[in-house]
Structure formats: structure tokens, C-alpha cells
Amino acid sequence: MPIPEADPSRLFALGALFGLPKPDRWRVLEIGCGAGGHLVPMSARHPDDQWLGFDLAGVPVQQAQGLAERLGATAEVLQLDVCDASEALADRGEAPFDAIVAHGVYSWVPDAARTALLDLCGRWLAPHGIAYVSVNSLPGWGMRGTLGGMLRYVAGDGAPERQTARARAFVGLLCSLVPENDPYGAWLRREEALIRKQGDPWLFHDLLAPINRPVWLHELVDDAAGHGMQYLGDAVLETMLPDRLPQDVQARLASLGGGQVQQEQLLDFVLARSFRRVLLCRDDVVLQRELVPEAMEGLHVVGRLVRDGPQRYRSLEGDELRTDHPLLDEVMGWLADHRPASVPVDDLARMGGPGEVERVRRNLLLAATRGLVELRQRPAGLVGTVSARPLADPIAQILVDDGEVPTALGAKVRLDGLEQTILRHLDGEHDVPALVDAVLTQGFQLIGHHGMGPQALRGWLEVEIPRRLAGMARTGLLVG
């Protein structure tokens, strides 16, 4: 599974906001990389960088190596226990890494492996490197973990499908036994809805996992300090700040004082946060905690917003933005209309002439802290509008038969049969009429409309293919 927030392009852009220099060439290590769903496509997209991953389990390592072969990717994947990894890296003569990623590992391994994971990060981070360690966090996961305890009890042993089926059935039963107007019943129903939304793999790997120990943010930061690291921030910038809470709540939180970690810990208490993507760096790095517009220089930006009326925008999460400043309206409009194409911040800053550079940077920074735009070190390489002869992302094209493909922004996109056929022909040579011909030549049938004659089917495709292409552009599958 791709992990958008652990994309080095995003990590180093975030680091730059806090004063860290951005590495030109990346050296990336992934701990517990599983079947390589993040590491391998990343390395295929950035072949001039160095990528190394390891996992304890043999089968996923083989799958990751197979994926690397399919994609012609440079990533090297090893079978290793995190407890032995430091020594193994030294034996291989490895240099320190600019980014170390451990997603979905820390909370799920025994104490010795957790300590080894932090030790590895502390030893192998480059002087300005960033470690990404995702964890299930307290207090949110404390409550969810209680439900997990009940579900593990009823799920028993056996094949994962049997365990998840029993667990799902039991949550349904519990909901029917506890009245909805009871606070416990209301909570159970919310958790049941989440289980339905996240699906069985999540239920099995998270709620039914034999080891799943959540941590307090302050506890993890203290443990990291014992390994020579400090808290840099959260990989999702907008979650570090209370800006999305009502003003009076923000003021009361601020009045409780404390530094960055204490304030974020209090925020976790308020939001009952259950998952965190913690970023760490070496403790001798002097961080610039006050966000300044100049730090935006040289970064690239991708819109995460849509138009919502004249001078009004809405983030993909539903937060509103209004601007009555014509230049900022133009900047935000460009980002909304071209999403998910990236653009250099400096190009947008120059839209209004030299006198407006600071204003544009400051507002883009503000938009980033609200989740309205995403910052990247490198261009995303995507186009948000459909050209006359579209060109698909080469990685999506190689993986098209899988029916689900990772995008350059880390999303996972499911494709139906028609979209798969279209994608196979997006080579920069086919316009819409040629795509219609190609789809018909492949013997495409409209399931459920078998009565449709060839002319009617052609007419339907002439409308449907442009619609699907627009969807592909929006989800990040087109590069030209």
C-alpha cells in the first residue's frame, strides 16, 4: 500500500518549513516494508535515488522483489529482523539515510523490536535526516483497543476470514444489545461503522492483532530522546496545529502553555486521536519552530481544494476558504482547476509581480497548515487536465492488470474493465475517437445493456471515455 505521507518529497518539504536543508539525492530506508507497496513504486518513480527496505517475513519480501522486477525498480529488499538490522547495514557498508520510514510497525511489534527500531533510526539517520514512525496513539486507541480485546476474545483462532467474520458478527450483535441512546451504544455504533468502512484487512491487522500497543505522543518522544532524536512534527502538517478548532478552544489550549510536544499532546486529549505519523530528527538539529514564508522558496505545491462559488473554495476534507483578494483568488483558482498537477511556489508567487511574492508565499503556507494544499520538494509530474492525446503514468500502465494501481501522490485507484482498457491505450498517440475504436476492437460489451447495438455503444463510449479520462486526470493517473 502506498503511504502518501511518507513520500520523501513531502517529508523533505515539511522538514524545510522547520529549517532542515533538503537533500538533492535521497537515500531512503524502509523498516518492515512488507510486500513493498510503498517502497517499490516510489523507487520506480525516483530511479536516481537509493532505496533499501527490509522485513522479517520471507513471503512479503519475495513479493516486494517480484514487484521491483515488474516495475524495473531499483529498490533492494532484504529479509531482516529489525533487531539485527543495524549490524547488517554496517556489514553492507551502508551510509546514513536521509529518510527512514516505519509505517504500521512500531505499535505492532514486541518491546525489544520497538527499542531496536528507535535505535536503528537514531544510528542511521543522516545529520539532517527525517524518520517517519507511525503509531497507534492514546487516548483514541485506548478506547478502540478495548473493543479489540473483546473481538480477539470472540474471534478465537483459525483462518483470518473466519476470525474477521466472527468479529464482525459480534460487533453487530453488541450494537443490537446496547441501546443507541446509551453513550456506550452510540460509541459502539461509530466503531462498527468504522469497521465496515475500513474493511476486513484493517479489522484483522489492527483490531485483531495479537500485539497492538498504542503510545502517548510524549512517551514516544521521550523514548526517541533516549536514542538521540527529537520531535520534528507530524507528517500531516494540519494535524499539528489547533487551527481547525473553534477560536475559544484554541485560546484555552494555548493558555495551558508548554512547548510543541505538550501542546500537541493536549490536542490529542481533546481530539481523542488514535493514530499518529510521528516525524523525528537528530537532537542536535536546531529547528525553526516559527513557520516563515521564506521557507516556501523552492518548494512545489499541489492543490487539495475545489471551487465552491465565486472567491470561495473548499478543501477535500470540507474546510472552507474565502478570499476577496484578486491575486490569491487567481492562485487558489489555478490550484483548484489544475489539481493534482504541481507548480513551483515561486511561479505562483511571481503571478502578482515582485511586490506580492511574500503575500503569496505566506498565504500558501497558511493554506498548507489548513490542509488546502500539499507541499512537495519535487514536482509531482502529473497533469490535472486531459490533453488531446493523453499519456498515462507508466507505473499505472505496468500494473493495470492488477485492477488497482498506486498514483504518484500515493493514492490507490481501483479501475474497472473499461478504465483498464482505456489506460492500456494512453500512450500519447490515441485521441478520443482512436480510444473509442480501440475499446470496441477489444470487444468491450456494456454489461447489463446487452441489447445495445454497435452504433449506440459507440455513441455511449464517445461520451463516457472523456468522462473517465477526466476522472483519471483528477485521481493522478495522467502525466501528459
Question: Which CB atom, from 6 or from 461, has the smaller least distance to ligand SAM?
Answer: 6
Q: What distance in Å separates the CA atoms of residue 285 and residue 272, rounded to the nearest whole number?
A: 30
Between CA 136 and CA 274 the distance in angstroms is 6
- Residue 26 or 108 with smaller CB distance to ligand SAM: 108
CA 88 to CA 92: how far, in whole Å? 6
Which residue's CB atom is positioned nearest to ligand SAM? 32
Q: Which is nearer to ligand SAM, 38 or 361 (CB)?
A: 38
Binding site for ligand SAM (CB under 6 A): 1, 32-34, 37, 55-57, 60, 81-83, 103-105, 108-109, 113, 205
Choice between 34 and 145, CB closer to ligand SAM: 34
Q: Give the nearer residue to ligand SAM in terms of CB position, either 97 or 108.
A: 108
103 versus 425: smaller Cβ distance to ligand SAM: 103
We find the least distance from the C-beta atom of residue 331 to ligand SAM, in angstroms, to be: 35
> N- to C-terminal Cα distance for the chain?
25
The strand pairing partners of 281, in sequence order, are 230
Minimum Å gap between C-beta 475 and ligand SAM is 20
Minimum Å gap between C-beta 31 and ligand SAM is 6
Dihedral angle sign, alpha carbons of residues 341, 43, 376, 263: positive
- For 170, the enclosing helix (H) or strand (E) is helix 160-177
Length in residues, the chain: 480
Grid cell locating 11: 517529508
Give 32 or 129: the residue with its C-beta nearer to ligand SAM: 32
- What is the C-alpha to C-alpha distance for residues 186 and 196, in angstroms, rounded to an integer? 16
Tell the smallest beta-carbon distance from residue 113 to ligand SAM (Å). 4
- Spatial neighbors of 272 by CB under 8 A, at least 6 apart, are 139, 140, 143
- Could you give the CA distance from residue 85 to residue 144 in angstroms, rounded to a whole number? 32
* Least CB distance to ligand SAM at residue 28 (A): 13
Angle at 294 between CA 288 and CA 277, to 5 degrees: 50
Give every CB contact of residue 3 below 8 A, 6+ residues apart in sequence. 38, 101, 103, 134, 410
What is the closest distance, in whole angstroms, from the C-beta atom of residue 365 to ligand SAM in the complex? 30
User: Nearest distance from residue 42's CB to ligand SAM, in Å?
Assistant: 12
Residue 392 C-beta: closest distance to ligand SAM, Å = 25
Strands in 125-136's sheet, in edge-to-edge order, are 76-79, 50-55, 27-31, 97-102, 125-136, 275-282, 229-234
Closer residue to ligand SAM (CB): 133 or 380: 133
Q: Which residues pair with 313 in a beta bridge?
A: 307, 321
